[in-house]
């Protein structure tokens, strides 16, 4: 029984003792199960749409008429460019040898606030990696993460050659 009542005197029942043994049993089982099944690494995802030719989809001509925001990650710098206007912003690496992600965030925020992208959430991203000057996957994810944070939630990953706005030297 869950509870038993002290009735020794036969008068008024005053002491009520709850039997907590089943409760402790339940807690012990639950604790053991949760400890065994616990996932200590919290994994999430970034959703991207690959750009380029698909098996079932034709290239959409409509996109060629729009101004596209392109981000190109190179080993030593990041380019933020606008297609059709051909405006490019160069973000060099910081003094610590890491990409200047704060500047990239500011640049993307500026673009998001502009008339071209205030009601849009698409962005193209590519990484120019070569032997000797490699771009790591972490850098690509970092740039995507910043883009999503700023509001460009439709991130498209493409080849460097497939970017709508590509800086030419």
- Among residues 12, 14, 34, 97, which is the contact residue for another protein, using CB under 8 A? 34
Segment near another protein (CB under 8 A); pick from 44-52, 83-91, 95-103, 109-117: 44-52
Please check whether residue 135 is in contact with residue 127, taking contact to mean a CB–CB distance below 8 angstroms. Answer: yes
Query: Which residues between 77 and 106 bind another protein (CB under 8 A)?
Result: none
Place of tokens 């990409």: 99
Segment near another protein (CB under 8 A); pick from 79-87, 89-97, 104-112, 129-137: 129-137
Within 10 A of 76 (CB to CB), how many other CB atoms are there? 10
Residue 165 has which token pair? 């706005």
Query: Rounded to whole angstroms, what are the CA distances from 153 to 39, 100, 117, 122, 127?
Result: 27, 21, 12, 7, 18
Query: Rounded to whole angstroms, what are the CA distances from 131 to 75, 134, 139?
Result: 10, 6, 16
> Does 47 help bind another protein (rule: CB under 8 A)?
yes
Segment near another protein (CB under 8 A); pick from 54-62, 79-87, 90-98, 105-113: 54-62
> Does 124 help bind another protein (rule: CB under 8 A)?
no
> Does 127 help bind another protein (rule: CB under 8 A)?
yes
> Does 60 help bind another protein (rule: CB under 8 A)?
no
Question: For residues 73 and 108, which CB has a smaller minimum distance to another protein in the complex?
Answer: 73
Q: How many residues lie near another protein (CB under 8 A)?
A: 60
> Does 27 help bind another protein (rule: CB under 8 A)?
yes
CA-to-CA distance for 17 and 35, rounded, in angstroms? 31
CA-to-CA distance for 85 and 87, rounded, in angstroms? 6
Dihedral, CA atoms, 48, 54, 58, 64, nearest 10 degrees? 40
> Does 7 help bind another protein (rule: CB under 8 A)?
yes
Contacting residues toward another protein, per CB under 8 A = 1, 4-8, 15, 17, 19-20, 23-24, 27-28, 30-31, 34-35, 37-57, 73, 126-130, 134-142, 144-145, 148-149, 157, 159
């Amino acid at each position: 029984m869950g509870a038993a009542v002290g009735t020794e005197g036969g008068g008024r029942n005053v002491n009520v003792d709850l039997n907590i043994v089943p409760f402790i049993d339940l807690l012990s089982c639950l604790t053991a199960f949760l400890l065994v099944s616990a996932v200590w690494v919290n994994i999430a995802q970034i959703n991207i749409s690959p750009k380029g030719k698909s098996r079932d989809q034709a290239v959409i001509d409509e996109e060629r008429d729009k101004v596209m925001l392109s981000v190109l990650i190179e080993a030593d710098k990041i380019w933020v460019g606008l297609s059709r206007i051909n405006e490019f912003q160069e973000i060099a690496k910081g003094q610590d040898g890491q990409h200047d992600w704060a500047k990239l965030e500011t640049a993307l925020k500026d673009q998001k606030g502009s008339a071209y992208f205030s009601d849009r959430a698409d962005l193209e991203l590519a990484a120019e990696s070569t032997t000797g000057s490699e771009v790591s996957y972490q850098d690509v994810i970092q740039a995507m993460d910043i883009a999503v944070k700023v509001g460009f939630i439709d991130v498209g990953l493409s080849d460097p050659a497939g970017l709508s706005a590509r800086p030419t030297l």
